[in-house]
A and B are shown apart, each in its own frame.
Chain A
């Protein structure tokens, strides 16, 4: 079982729609979770951090964490073509030294 799992996609949504990205993790001791966006040929950039169960909103982005289900999600409201990228889910392992990444979900937002 992979430590952080994501649907590789691609996920295609029309402009203005809500994009929903999902992630599960296997390490029950993980306490810190992140969503990164990576454009082709670029480095990953942090979009959201979430540490507590529930929702965390930042602009058009909402991260959701459910530690009991070991599930993290990212919602992108009013999706724009510029949101087209690969979205990486990451979790810090028990012990806190490693950030483990999922394989990423490719998102396409159609104009």
Chain B
């Protein structure tokens, strides 16, 4: 199936831990994104990579570090997790600058 897939689907961890979320797309898109959706359902852009190059870095704590080993993969590593990091994180990709986003299924992160 052609899709954006991210793992894991659920992530429960304690404050202070470090965790990673992986994302892969087989749509052949050059641009990938990480979005955070909080409890009020607001989707906020975090990062974007275009063909492995970081092009958007919103006001996100340095504890969040994206990595794109190739244009089909975009991973998100989070250090020293805090309670406020609890949210659903969506990976997305798109073909062109005016194209819609294709979303992965999301990773629900719960920090206790």
A-to-B contact residues, CB < 8 Å: 31-32, 34, 38, 42-46, 49, 51, 86, 88, 90, 92, 96-101, 103-104
Contacts and interface: CB of A to CB of B under 8 A. Distances in A.
Interface in B68-108: 90, 94, 97-106
A73 to B, nearest CB: 17
Contact of B103 (A44, A86, A96, A97): A44
A44 B56 contact: no
B27 interface: no
Contacts of A38: 41
Interface in B23-63: 33, 40-45, 48, 55-56
- Most chain B CB inside 10 Å of its own CB: which residue of A42, A88, A97, A104: A97
A45 to B, nearest CB: 8
Contacts of B48: 97-98
Contacts, number: 52
A46 B100 CA distance: 7
Contacts of B94: 99
B54 to A, nearest CB: 11
A43 B104 contact: yes
A101 B35 CA distance: 10
Nearest to B58: A98
Contacts of B45: 98-100
Given A43-B90, A44-B103, A97-B55, A103 B98 contact: no
A99 B43 CA distance: 10
Given A49-B100, A51-B98, 17 more contacts: A31-B98, A32-B98, A34-B100, A34-B101, A43-B103, A43-B104, A44-B90, A45-B103, A86-B41, A90-B100, A92-B97, A96-B97, A97-B56, A98-B48, A99-B33, A99-B45, A101-B43
